[in-house]
Amino acid sequence: MKKPIELLSYEKIEKFNPENIAKLKNHYREILNLIGEDVDREGLLETPLRLAKSIQFLTQGYDHDPEEILLSAKFKEDYRQMVIVKDIEIFSMCEHHMIPFIGKAHVAYIPNGYITGLSKIARVVEVYSRRLQVQERLTTQIKDTIQNTLNPLGVAVVIEARHLCMAMRGVQKQHSVTTTSDFTGAFERAGTRAEFISLVSSTLS
Q: How far is CA 74 from the centre of its chain?
A: 21
- What's the rounded Cα separation, in Å, for the pair 73 and 61? 19
Sequence-ordered list of residues with C-beta below 8 angstroms from that of 20, at least 6 positions apart, any chain: 52, 56
Which residue, 105, 181, 187, 113, is CA-closest to 149? 113
- What's the rounded Cα separation, in Å, for the pair 39 and 22? 16
Q: Which residues are catalytic?
A: 94-97, 135, 163, 165
